[in-house]
Amino acid sequence: MTSKKTRRFEDVRPGEALPELAIPITVPLIAGGAIATRDYFPGHHDAEAARALGSPHIFMNILTTSGLVQRYAESWAGPGARFGALKIKLGAPNYPGDTMTFSGEVSVCDADRRSVEITLKGKNSMGNHVTGTVALVLP
């Protein structure tokens, strides 16, 4: 069982800001995240291969970014929230040594479906690594 509470639809207002979440970007997170998502593209775990592709170091794969976005939205909403959509666009790459800080706000509340949309971004030292939206159905 979990002691964590899930936000109820009635408790959420459009414009409400989510607390920021800072995620240190490390070699284990990038390489481990790629393997955990079954992505063996060399640029995500082999620094030499990444450099040959024009990158200074290994870079995070998009499936890990999606996973971190899920974590950010879910850690705010609680375990009973249900994802309807998770849509992201990538910008600046995540390289080891950087920090990505998520911020977001509730952009839409749909009372008929008890659904909220969160608009979020994950920013690193080079700009936005990810921007996107998450649709959640709340109890």
Partner 1 sequence: MAEQDWMSEVRAMVGREYGRVCAWDEVNAPMIRQWCEMMGVDNPLYTDAAYAASTEYGAIVSPPAMLQAWCLEGLHPNNYPPGSTTENPYEVLRLLESHGFKSVVAVNSDLSFERYVKVGERLYYTTRLDAVGEEKTTALGTGFFVTLIMSFFSEKPTGDEKVGELLFRVFKFRPANVQAAEAPKVEMVQKIKRPKPGVSDDTRFFWDGVAAGKLLIQRCKSCGTLRHPPGPVCVKCHSFEWDTVEASGAGSIHSFVVMHYPEVPPFDHPNPVGLIELDEGVRLVAGLVGAKRNEIAIGQRVQVEFQSFDDGELTLPLFRPVAP
Using an 8 Å Cβ cutoff, are 82 and 137 in contact? yes
- End-to-end, the C-alpha distance of the chain in Å comes to 17
Q: Contacts with partner 1 in 46-105 (CB under 8 A)? A: 47-48, 51-57, 61-71, 74-75, 79-80, 82-90, 92, 95-98
Nearest residue to 102 via CA among 82, 88, 83: 88
The distance of closest approach from Cβ of residue 114 to partner 1 in the complex, given in angstroms and rounded to an integer, is: 14
Site string for partner 1, 21-50 (x = CB under 8 A): --x-----x--xx--xxxxx------xx--
Query: Which ranges constitute the DSSP H helices of 23-92?
Result: 27-36, 47-52, 62-77
Give the CA radius of gyration of the chain: 16
Shortest approach of partner 1 to residue 32 CB, angstroms? 5
Binding site for partner 1 (CB under 8 A): 1-2, 23, 29, 32-33, 36-40, 47-48, 51-57, 61-71, 74-75, 79-80, 82-90, 92, 95-98, 124-128
